[in-house]
Amino acid sequence: MTGWPGGRQVGLAFGLGAVMALGQAPLDAWFLTLPALAGLIGLVARQPGARSAAFVGWFGGAGYFGLALSWIVEPFFIDIASDGWMAPFAPVLLAFGLGLFWAAAGALAGWSRKPVAGMVVGLGVAELARGYVLTGFPWALIGHIWIDTPVALVAAWVGPSGLTLLTLVLAAGLRHWRLVPISLAMLAVVWVFGVWQLRLPDPVAPGVVVRLVQPNAGQAAKWDPDNARVFFDRLMAYSAAQPRVDLVIWPETALPYLLDSNPGLAQSIGAAAGVPVVVGLQRVEGPRAWNGLKVLGPDGAVLAAYDKHHLVPFGEYLPFGDALFDWLGVSAFASQAGQGYSAGPGPQVLDLGPKLGRVLPLICYEAVFPQGLRGAGRADWLLQITNDAWFGSLTGPFQHAEQARLRAIEQGLPLVRVANTGITAVFDARGREVASLPFQTAAYLDVPLPGALSPTIYATLGEVPVLVLLAGLGAGLIRRRKRMTA
């Protein structure tokens, strides 16, 4: 095979990528990711040409995504008789599919006269593009290794792509002993800066207490008619518990019944809580269904509503889904009606009144996308409702929660996260956990809502600073290559 670097080279790249993945939650071993990334950059840089460098980058990405996204097999085990046969294929296809982004970065490094710089720029662009191409999948970005450290506070200026670029620069510096002190000094400066940010005075809290309800409904039993009443009674009991709070929040698709098909149900929910209730539910109109939420008043009146707009490919909808459902009966995993869910109109800030303020809702997967929080107007707080029972119990729920936590830092807004099985928690505007419920436990939690900071640089400019920096670095590589070939 032309350009094939050999089994040892791609095997080493695969192993280095897998070690890099240990920096993702729940291990958060960033100190292993940095040297492994440095090793992968060096391995790519030593390749004799663009093709062999692309292969090394591809297998490095496959090793990284194969371990970091190993939770992808979990949905196939919910109904193992029907879907279990697909479980071995999903992680392989996903790992090598996403690895193509890293292959492109490797090709750029192999083409460049400065392969290390080429790999830094290439991977920076590849990870940024991964959040947008084909609806995007920015899960387990390289920069996410810092979320549980003070370094994450930099995201308020440059977002997750800036964290990724910082990580790449640090790792590139570790490749040469003369640059190691500079890399370590840079990391120390950023770390101290984050610590300083965390010690600044907290913004004034609005004086609102929210109740987070975690029913812990197992995915295999959630839609079973015999269990539906058990989970619903649990939700109602937690909502009615004394003392009263200002707002009760149920997780994604928590309601096991269709609200519009059950007269009096909304009134029962509102009366039980005695305060507004955010209800995660499914909404059906004819052949179409939506994954959404409604805010019900104490009298059952709908105060606000939102439908999820960024759906999970193959999970909540299928490309050409209508035809596949009509011809073959194939439907998406999560949908309980038709071939899949329909997308809502887009991000939306809900005004819940002078006390509860303006909230930007995110349903499950939507919290993975930082760009989804821009363009809807400034909110007072963020709300994510989710059903992480799909992701198993080892890595997926913890990675999902950390990415949602990063949204709080990027926007300078507190985040309330309510999950069916966990992780249910409240994070302040600097990403610190204020309170949380135990994982996979049926319980509720009353928490005062933290205050909001002023809009951050990232909330205002988005990816623009990082794009400008990457464009400048890329232009420098091109100019250098032209001078060398002249």
Active site residues: 252, 308, 364
Alpha helical stretches, state H, 335-395: none
Closest by Cα among 445, 446, 441, 444 to 217: 441
Tokens of residue 87, six digits? 């479980």
Alpha helical stretches, state H, 174-249: 180-198, 219-222, 225-240
Greatest distance between any 2 Cα atoms in the chain: 78
Asked if 38 contacts 31 with a C-beta cutoff of 8 angstroms, the reply is no
Closest by Cα among 147, 204, 214 to 409: 147
CA distance 352 to 370: 23
Closest by Cα among 195, 156, 152, 172 to 23: 152
Tokens of residue 227, six digits? 């269990």
Give the contacts of 140 (CB within 8 A, at least 6 positions apart): 21, 24, 64, 65, 68, 69, 399
CA distance 414 to 204: 12
One-letter amino acid at 354 equals P
Closest by Cα among 37, 32, 45, 31 to 17: 37
CA distance 352 to 361: 12
Asked if 410 contacts 156 with a C-beta cutoff of 8 angstroms, the reply is yes
Calculate the alpha carbon distances from 232 to 239, 275, 339, 414, 440 in Å: 11, 18, 26, 28, 17
Asked if 405 contacts 415 with a C-beta cutoff of 8 angstroms, the reply is yes
Calculate the alpha carbon distances from 346 to 306, 362, 381 in Å: 9, 11, 18
Tokens of residue 469, six digits? 């920096």
Tokens of residue 364, six digits? 């499950």
DSSP 240: H
Q: What share of the chain is helix, strand, coil (3-state, %, to 5)?
A: 50, 15, 35
